[in-house]
Amino acid sequence: MNIVVPDSQLLPTDVEFPPLAANKFGWQQFLGLDREELKERCWRSHCVVTLNTPLDAELLNSMAKLELLVIANTNVSLVDMQTAEKNNITVCQVPDLEPAQFDINNPQQAQQLCNTVVSIIDHYMQTK
């Protein structure tokens, strides 16, 4: 499984995604991608984790291998859900993110977010 995080610049510098349980996977993190870079980096990805990058119909349609989309944000409108459904993309939002209480700049909260994202991906891979 190839995994891309297009906007990891939003995480505090000392926060990291923990390793996945799977033995074989590719993991790429970028410090922000424009639309064309996003298409180039994600067209062969099986999973995209978005912290705040909008994914509209055009972008989702350019990601032919995309199976799983993890929204690590309270704003599900970042993603064109109709196109995701049409393309059989499983969309998961990190649970329990309350806008009034969650602060991505808080290292402890951001690390918990990363841990939860990896748990979601692990669960998806195990049930696939």
Q: pLDDT value at position 24?
A: 80
Q: pLDDT value at position 41?
A: 93
Q: pLDDT value at position 73?
A: 86
Q: What's the full length of the chain, in residues? A: 128
Q: pLDDT value at position 100?
A: 63
Q: pLDDT value at position 25?
A: 87
User: E strands of 30-118, at which residues?
Assistant: 47-50, 68-71, 90-93
DSSP H or E segment with residue 44: none
Q: pLDDT value at position 113?
A: 92
CATH number for 2-127 (one of 3.40.50.300, 3.40.50.720, 3.50.50.60, 1.10.10.10): it is 3.40.50.720
Cβ contacts of 32 within 8 Å, gap of 6 or more: 6, 7, 9
Instruction: Collect the ranges in the chain with pLDDT lower than 50.
Output: none
- Integer angstrom CA distances of residue 77 from 22, 33, 105, 112: 30, 19, 22, 22
